Amino acid sequence: MAQLSYREAVAAGIAQEMRRDETVVFLGEDVAAPGGVFKTTEGLQAEFGPMRVRDTPIAEQAILGAAMGAAMTGLKPIAEIMFSDFFAVCWDLVANQMAKTRFMSNGQCSFPLVIRSANGGGVRFGAQHSQSVENWAMAVPGIKVVAPSCAADVKGLLAAAIRDPDPVLFFEQKSLYGSKDEVPEGEHVEPLGKAKILREGDDVTIVALAAMVPRAMKAAATLASDHGVTATVIDLRSLVPLDVSAIFDSVSKTGRLVTVEENPRLCGWGAEVSSLVAEELFWDLDSPIVRVTTPHIPLPAADALEDSVLPSPEKIVQNVLKLAD
């Protein structure tokens, strides 16, 4: 095991796959010599050269168009969209081209490509650089959606995404880039669509994603120590595929569900999870399902305002205790 930061794990995962497969290439804005705007790709061009690690113009449509063409002709491209907010200017290529061409070509065209992007708030970048857009992606049939919460999963899930035959959107929560944990050395691959149970409890199931996972873990610790409430905490890790079995198994035991979502409340991923649980496990529920979300507003840049709208451990605790009454 090695101690790596979340940002270092990005480069580790890409390098692992580029070493094992010469068809893997990487392109994006400032990803080569500069090492990425968040310093997530330092050293890659030095090791793999300018033919495989390429800087591009500031043109998201060009980046994804090149990646799509590369995937159709036998390469396995990794493309970076610097901020996930910028998917708004190239969404046609994702939603109407990458997601559908394999289906529309009857399998004649394959799309083994990954689009990485810095997602979410917590770093005071304001409304146009802090959106959490995984629910946009989840709504489009034909693409997979991954959002890791720790460095080990960054490396392992990124490797799996690169090996996958379908397009994968890989969301890196930017406020986590400095966090560190133990990461397996050597080849490390984690399966897509497999949630991770981080803590076991009997009273409530808390389902979270990306930056909300460590907040859910803090809330679970407070609930246990201060209130005698034990919580199962599930890190979804990916939204498509969604590990429905892990959620159902836990809720069947605890009888209560709380989802913790960074994205705005309207049509967030927790609404889908809640719908599935309500349809399949209604008679196992001991209380209403609760969603802890960001309000349906643009995310403010001011420190106090951003902190006030994002889900916090304290908000999670308050909502769980309402169910336990």
Query: Model confidence over 53-91: pLDDT tens digits?
Result: 999 999 999 999 999 999 999 999 999 999 999 999 999
DSSP 8-state code for residue 139: T
Domain that holds residue 259: 196-324
307 backbone φψ class: left, alpha, beta (φ>0; ψ -120 to 50)? alpha
Q: Per the domain annotation, does 191 fall within a domain? A: no
Please report the pLDDT score of residue 1 as a whole number.
Answer: 81
Residue ending a domain, choose from 124, 152, 183: 183
**Same domain for 22 and 100:** yes
282-295 core/surface letters (b: 16 or more CB in 10 A; e: else): eeebeeebbbbbbe
Give Cα separations from 179 to 3, 73, 152, 193 (angstroms). 10, 37, 11, 23
Residue 325 pLDDT level (bands cut at 50, 70, 90): low
Q: Per the domain annotation, does 189 fall within a domain? A: no
Section 219-240 average pLDDT: 97
**Same domain for 179 and 248:** no
pLDDT, mean over the chain: 96
Residue ending a domain, choose from 183, 215, 231: 183
**Same domain for 209 and 163:** no
pTM for the predicted model, two decimal places: 0.96
Please report the pLDDT score of residue 109 as a whole number.
Answer: 86
Section 236-265 average pLDDT: 97
Query: Model confidence over 266-295: pLDDT tens digits?
Result: 999 999 999 999 999 999 999 999 999 999
Task: State the CB neighbour count (10 A cutoff) for residue 298.
Answer: 13
**Same domain for 162 and 204:** no
Positions annotated as catalytic residues are 129
**Same domain for 140 and 58:** yes
Integer Cα distance of 299 and 125 in angstroms: 9
Q: What is the largest CA-CA distance in the chain?
A: 61
**Which amino acid is present at 206?**
I
Which helix or strand (DSSP H or E) is residue 47 part of? helix 44-48
pLDDT at 110 over 90: no
Q: 313 is written with which tokens?
A: 């451990």
pLDDT at 175 over 90: yes
**Same domain for 249 and 105:** no
pLDDT at 44 over 80: yes
Burial class (CB in 10 A: 0-12, 13-18, 19+), 324: middle
**Same domain for 170 and 33:** yes
